[in-house]
Structure 1
Amino acid sequence: MSYLAIIFVCLAILSQCQADLIGDFCTRSSNPSVCGQVIRFDPRSNGADARGLAEIALENAVSDTQASIDVAKTVSNPSNKGIIDTCIEVFGDALDTLNQCKLLIPKQDRSSISSLRTKGSAALTDVNTCNDEFGANEPPQLTQASARPIHCKNMLVLCA
C-alpha cells in the first residue's frame, strides 16, 4: 500500500465529511491494514482532512524515496554499478516528480487532480524500474528500501 495511493483517494473525496476518513481511504487501498498503520502512525493524521492525509503520504513518499537512494549507494559494487546508477537516476526522477506534487495537493480543480494522478503513477513507475532492472538478483537491502516508496506512491495515487 502506498502513500501515493492514499493521496489520490484523499483528493477525490476532499469535500466529503467522513466519520473515519483514514479508514475510508484505506479500504480502497491494496493493503488496508498497512495503509491504516502508516497513516495513523503520524500524529498529524488525527483530525486531518483529505488534503492533510495527502500531504502526510507525500512527505513519507519523498522521505522513503530519498532513503532508497541512500541504500542504493551503499550496495553499489563493480558488478552492479550500472544497474545501481540506473536505480539512483530513476529514484531521483521519482523525487523530482513527487516534489512537483507538493504544489498540486492544495488545488481542487480537475486539472490538478489529474496531474497529481499522472505524476504519482510516473513516480511509481520510476521506482519499479529499479526493481525490474535487477530482477531476482536485487540486493535484499535495496528490495526492502524500494518497497516503502512503492507503498507510499500507491497511497498518493488513491488520494487524487
Structure 2
Amino acid sequence: MTRIVLLFVLLSLNYHSHADLIADTCKKSEYPDLCNSTLRSDPRSAKVDATGLARIMLEAALTKASTTFNQAKKLLSKTTEPVLKECLTLCTDNYKLIIEEIPKAIQNVGSDNSEAIHQADLALTDVDTCESIFSEEPNKRKSPLTANNNVVQHLVAIAEDILASLG
C-alpha cells in the first residue's frame, strides 16, 4: 500500500513540475494566454522539456499556416476582383514558403536552435508580407486573412521566445 501511495505522489509531482514548466515558459512569452492554451491542449506537453514545448508550438503554427493557406486558396478561387486576386495570390505564394520554412525550423529544434529561429524568422516575414500587401496604396483594403495571420505570427513568436530561452 505504501508503494502505491508513493508512486501516486511521484507521478503527481512529475505532472506538477511539467505544469509549472508550461506556466513558467508561457509567463515569459509575449502571448502567454495563447501559449498556455496551445500547450495545455496538446497532451504531449505534459511529458516534454522546453525543447519539446518549442517543437509543439512550431507544429501548432504549421497547422494554422496550412489552414490559412487553404483559406487563401479558397478565397482566391472565388474572387474575380483583380486587386484582391493579386493580394491573395501573393499570400498563397508566401504560405507555400511558410509551410516549407516551419518544418525546417522544427527539424532544427534542439540541434541548431539558431537555425530554427532563423527559419521561424523567415516564416514571420512571409506572414507579414501577406498581411501588409492588403494595406498598400492605392488599393488599400482589409485583409480577409488578418485573424489567421495574427495567430500564425503569435505561435511562431512564442516558439522563438522558447528557443531563445534555451540559449
Same fold? TM cut 0.5: yes
Query: Structure 2 CA distance, aligned partners of 1:31 and 1:101?
Result: 20
The TM-score with structure 2 as length reference comes to 0.76
Shift of 1:19: 7.1
Say if 2:38 is the partner of 1:38.
yes
Shift of 1:118: 1.3
Between 1 and 2, higher relative CO (CA 8 Å, sep ≥ 6) is seen in 1
Alpha-carbon RMSD across the aligned residues, in angstroms, is: 1.8
Query: Structure 1 CA distance, aligned partners of 2:87 and 2:43?
Result: 37
Listed as ranges, the gaps of 5+ residues in structure 1 are 1-16
User: Corresponding residue for 2:57?
Assistant: 57
User: Corresponding residue for 1:125?
Assistant: 125
Query: Structure 2 CA distance, aligned partners of 1:65 and 1:25?
Result: 23
Query: Structure 2 CA distance, aligned partners of 1:69 and 1:103?
Result: 21
Q: For 1:9-158, what aligned pairs fall within 5 Å after superposition?
A: 20-76=20-76, 77-79=79-81, 80-107=84-111, 112-135=112-135, 137-140=141-144, 142-158=145-161
Q: Is the 8 A contact 1:75 1:139 kept in 2?
A: no
The TM-score with structure 1 as length reference comes to 0.79
1:148 is matched by which residue type in structure 2? V
Q: Is the 8 A contact 2:134 2:142 kept in 1?
A: yes
2:146 is matched by which residue type in structure 1? T
Q: Is the 8 A contact 2:94 2:126 kept in 1?
A: yes
Shift of 1:81: 0.9
Q: Is the 8 A contact 1:71 1:145 kept in 2?
A: no
Structure having the higher Rg: 2
Q: Is the 8 A contact 2:101 2:119 kept in 1?
A: yes
Query: Structure 2 CA distance, aligned partners of 1:53 and 1:134?
Result: 33
Query: Structure 1 CA distance, aligned partners of 2:36 and 2:106?
Result: 22
> Percent same amino acid among aligned pairs?
29
